[in-house]
Structure 1
Amino acid sequence: MIKQGLSLVLASLISSGALAQTVPATQTSNTWFKQGQEKLLEKLQQERAIKAKNVILFVGDGMGVSTLTAARILAGQLNGDMGEEGYLSFEEFPYSALVKTYNVDAQTPDSAGTMTAMMSGLKSDAGVLGVNEEVVRGSCSSTKGNEVVTAVELAEIKGISTGIISTARITHATPAAAYAKSADRNWEDISDMAIAENPERADCEDIASQLINFETNLEKRFLGVDVDGIEVVMGGGRRHFLPKDAAFNSTDAVSAVEGDRTDSRNLVTEWQEKYPQGSYVMDKAGFEAINADSTTQIFGLFNESHMQYEADRENDIAGEPSLAEMTAKAINVLDNNEKGFFLTIESGRIDHAHHAGNASNALTDTIELAKAVKAAVDATNDEETLIIVTADHSHVFTIAGYPKRGNPILGKVVGVGSEEPSLAKDGMPYTTVGYANGLGYRDLGNESNADASYSEAAMAGRMDLSSVDTTVTGFHQESTVPLGSETHAGEDISVHAMGPSAHLIQGTVEQSVIFHLINRALGLVD
């Protein structure tokens, strides 16, 4: 009551102009001052509906707070602004909070445990999907009786349409946590399970197979339930759905044999047999040909492995849709259901670029995620759609030094009042952004595929960057500790929300609370 009273008093002061009587005009007329007033009034006027018809969950894999800050600045600078003053689309949402990301058994988490928390409402161990903390990683038998129910499954049971999108392989940890139960996130297809050496694993189903059998498995698990399957699935990872036989290669296969499956199953064909009215697509042309008004189901596998980085997307052999395009298409299909929909969307390659030590691609994919969020906002009604934007974990990515305002975020540090790069104690310039560990320095010029950094050994320590253009796509920042891949970090990440129930996002929360927000908004568990 005290807080509410103070808010009303402050709103009254602002609206009546009373503040102008006590605060100098030079202060109240200042742009920053007026923007602050407007922002507070906007928040005070927010209506607080609870129930939503639709929920969209965006997950920027590896999108920590430093990534948000740097991407925001880069987005502004690409538009010709100084950068710091701008906002990514979802940073203007009215509600936000900090999220604790640790797994039950890990201080610094992995994506399997973090997404399981968001999908099920309970924290679990690193490396396992859709199961609780009692499961032993790699032990098939330990999953029995320890499976959790996910928001996607509950939405299907309720008759709500569902969708899963990722720029990573659709069998990768984050998207897989929405539909699979696995003692190991790496069991993407049967060839990954080493069943010959571990016969007990024959009792477990690989992740790709679980996606194809989602409807069947859910109905077996809950007797009397009748669902129609996930309506929209789009991402990469075709290799896990195809037999290990060159005869099944797609037109844009990059490997001599695209498929990995050693059980001779063609899961694409199996999906088509289950959903004869659905649309299987594997390239941009097929994607664009989908009629969203009449299509009941989409299965899109746009790459043999992960989809391209946004900066490299135009180089794809068969062509790929962007994350924003997939988001818009999915909404146009899912909103055909009058009961509503639940859609989860992962920008998976932010994480991969950070692991490769390449800030340019990580930030570019973050900017594309912001575009996808805007597409979702534009395509929905904020009175009936809850949109949540968050990350699963952060990375050891830093913004440091004392660069002046507007200094290129991917550039070398140039101090306030100076035109020349600042020099470290070793007499060499240094970049504003960098990594605490990882592969380290690479100067790959205009190479737009961040994964090219893995072709060379890790390089620690300092390099003379005096004549190096650090703003090009192929520049990889220096790192302090040499590792074969940069690692996740353990600090809190952020969550941003708008729409019904968004106001429940406050303070610092456990990651598992996100499930409970989705559940409250959609009424999944009565």
Structure 2
Amino acid sequence: MKNIGLKSVAIATTALATTLFTASAQAEDTGTAETWLEEGARVVAEKAAEPVNTKRAKNVILFVGDGMGISTLTAGRILEGQMQGKSGEENYLSFERFPYTALVKTYNVDAQVPDSAGTASALNTGSKTRIGVINTAPTQPNGQCAGAMETALTPLAHYAEKIGMATGIVSTARLTHATPAAVYAHSPSRGWENDGELPEEAVANGCRDIAQQILNPIGGNGLEVALGGGRRNFQPLGTGEGRRKDGRDLTQEWMASDSSAAYVENEQSLAQVDIANTSRLLGLFDNSHMQFEAQRGDEQPDLAEMTEVAIKMLQKNDGGYYLMVEAGRIDHGHHGGSAKAALYDTVALSKAVRKAMEMVDLDETMILVTADHSHVFTMAGYPKRGNPIFGLVTGPGETEPTLAKDGKPYTTLAYQNGPGAVQGERKHLTEEDIAAPDFRPQALVPTRSETHGGEDVGLFAIGPRAHIVRGTIEQNVIFHIMDYALDLRKRASE
């Protein structure tokens, strides 16, 4: 499912440009046979000694890197390492050292290559479903309201609320976008983000837009925290960039839902929230999606800051919590053919996971990190160790870029399709070209927006009962892993 084709991605700071495009001056660090053997033995010994925690989890945090396929993980870890002055390849993203991993199959029931709506629904409900829908049964047609609510799937947050747990969602995308919406909403179409998007058939059959569903009690007293973008879908026409035609201001309705509910719109007001005396917190930091991390100013919080506030809010509940955190703009960077945007947001996700690990007791909190799907993003050629991840391929022992058969250099990173495709003769790329803020690595097939990839994605797990994360699994099994860790549906049925 196509999301957004970006016209350009501005990455404007000198510090970032220096990190990205200055050739590595590090000496080659090959190690010795002895050091590699010793390190390998150490890793095996640590894994063999890893204790298995079979206790029931009190809390679950699910991190979703939207579009964070395996090639994105690899390139993201190298970028993070190079930002720290290393060659990059030896680096690990914060969650890549989790003790348990699996591969996840991502297809939808009607699509070999999935979209975020169907995949997020599988993560949150335990059932695979169709492309483009939010938590509706696999038999329900996309875009048809009739019958949808009678067979709607029950998300994990509903079970959590039923037994008194706290629930929350954090995303750098619009909170009404496909992945975050799957935490709290039901919709036969991911496009019904505000009431103006509802067709007559949907209105006649009682379907509601996604934004207004954020006010739902969802089995208990509703979400305790929701932080992200998408202000326009919550406010009426005539209010800023509001798009609601029903005249409702859902931000005000959120405030009216409880005497100690709060609503914020920027980083400064988020930092000033009196968490101890706030029962419900809504933060909408952009009219649409939040800014890419590479261009984020000081008006919007980063993913780690939002994650920190969300955990502080949810930790107040002695009954535990379920939190889903989405790095939504990894996906949008890739759709626009901008590896820079996608990978900086991948590094931001790593930072957010690290912050969560600092804040929770891993003896009682399960943390899962996965992706909803991949992208047609490649990392290829034979660049030498430490070659700048966004740079031209320069081989081991070489000082000049490797030339293709047309006599021109090429980048390590590229796309199978997308807006970066070259039609006609390929340009002779220079370091100046690839340092440009709007540079797109070359794509093969010209498309308006780069597409998702259909290969498996990774799942990384730590905490109570995380040891069952292994092998290759269907995506809907992740819901069942969280359910098993919490004994959730069993407790909800008692």
TM-score by length of 1: 0.85
Distance 1:355 1:276 in 2: 42
Confirm or deny: 8 A CA contact 2:59 2:321 kept in the other structure. Answer: yes
What residue in structure 2 maps to residue 238 of structure 1? 231
| Pairing 1:77–2:70 present | no
CA–CA distance in 2 between the matches of 1:52 and 1:35? Answer: 32
**Corresponding residue number in structure 1 for 2:468:** 504
- Which residue pairs with 1:38 in the alignment? 42
Query: Is the radius of gyration larger for structure 1 or structure 2?
Result: 1
Map of 2:210 onto structure 1: 207
Contact 1:347–1:365 under 8 Å retained in 2:
yes
Post-superposition, which runs of at least 4 consecutive aligned residues in structure 1 deviate over 4 A?
A: 199-202, 458-461
Q: Does 1:134 align with 2:125?
A: no
Structure-2 residue corresponding to 1:354: 334
- How far apart in 2 are the matches of 1:93 and 1:398? 25
Structure 2 residue 380 is the aligned partner of structure 1 residue 400: yes
Kindly report which structure 2 residues correspond to 1:481-520, keeping only aligned pairs within 5 A, or say none: 481-520=445-484
Q: Is the 8 A contact 1:460 1:479 kept in 2?
A: no
Deviates more, 1:169-178 or 1:471-480: 471-480
Please state whether the residue corresponding to 1:71 is helix, strand or coil: helix
Q: Which residue of 1 aligns with 2:197?
A: 192
1:307 is aligned to 2:290: yes
Structure 1 residue 28: Cα displacement: 9.8
- The CA distance in 2 between the partners of 1:513 and 1:181, in whole Å, is 20
Distance 1:180 1:431, change over 3 A: same
Aligned length: 459
1:293 matched to 2:296? The reply is no
The aligned residue for residue 445 of structure 1 is: none
| CA RMSD across the alignment | 1.6
Partner amino acid, structure 1, of 2:228: G
Deviations 1:359-408 (A, max 9, x none): 01100000000000000000001101100000000000000111111111
Residue type at the aligned position of 1:156? E
User: CA 1:429/1:380 → structure 2, altered by over 3 Å: closer, same or farther?
Assistant: same
**By how many angstroms is 1:37 displaced?**
1.7
- Worse-matched range after superposition: 483-492 or 31-40: 31-40
Q: TM-score, normalised by structure 2?
A: 0.90
Contact 2:145 2:202 in 1 (8 A): no
Report if the CA contact (8 A) 2:395-2:401 is conserved: yes
Say if 2:365 and 2:464, in contact at 8 Å, map to a contact too.
Answer: yes
Distance 1:342 1:499 in 2: 14
Amino acid at match of 1:355: H
1:32 positional shift:
2.0
8 Å Cα contact 1:241/1:261 also seen in 2: yes
**Is the counterpart of residue 367 in structure 1 residue 360 in structure 2?**
no
Identity of aligned residues (%): 49
Q: Which runs of 5+ in 2 are unaligned?
A: 1-30
Shift of 1:35: 1.9
Offset at residue 158 of structure 1 (A): 1.1
User: How far does residue 47 in structure 1 lie from its aligned partner after superposition?
Assistant: 2.0
Amino acid at match of 1:115: A
Cα distance in structure 1, aligned partners of 2:451 and 2:179: 16
Question: 1 or 2 for the larger relative contact order (CA 8 Å, sep ≥6)?
Answer: 2
> What residue identity is the alignment partner of 1:480?
L
Residue 291 (structure 1) shift: 2.1
Q: Is residue 146–residue 202 contact of structure 2 (8 Å, CA) maintained in 1?
A: no
CA shift digits 1:70-109 (9 cap, x unpaired):
0111111111111101100000111101000000000000
Contact 2:392 2:431 survives alignment (8 Å): no
Runs of 5+ in structure 1 lacking a partner?
A: 1-26, 220-226, 250-257, 442-457
* Equivalent pair of 2:260/2:277 in contact (CA under 8 Å): no
CA offsets, 1:19-68, max 9 Å, x none? Answer: xxxxxxxx997222222222222222222223111110000000000000
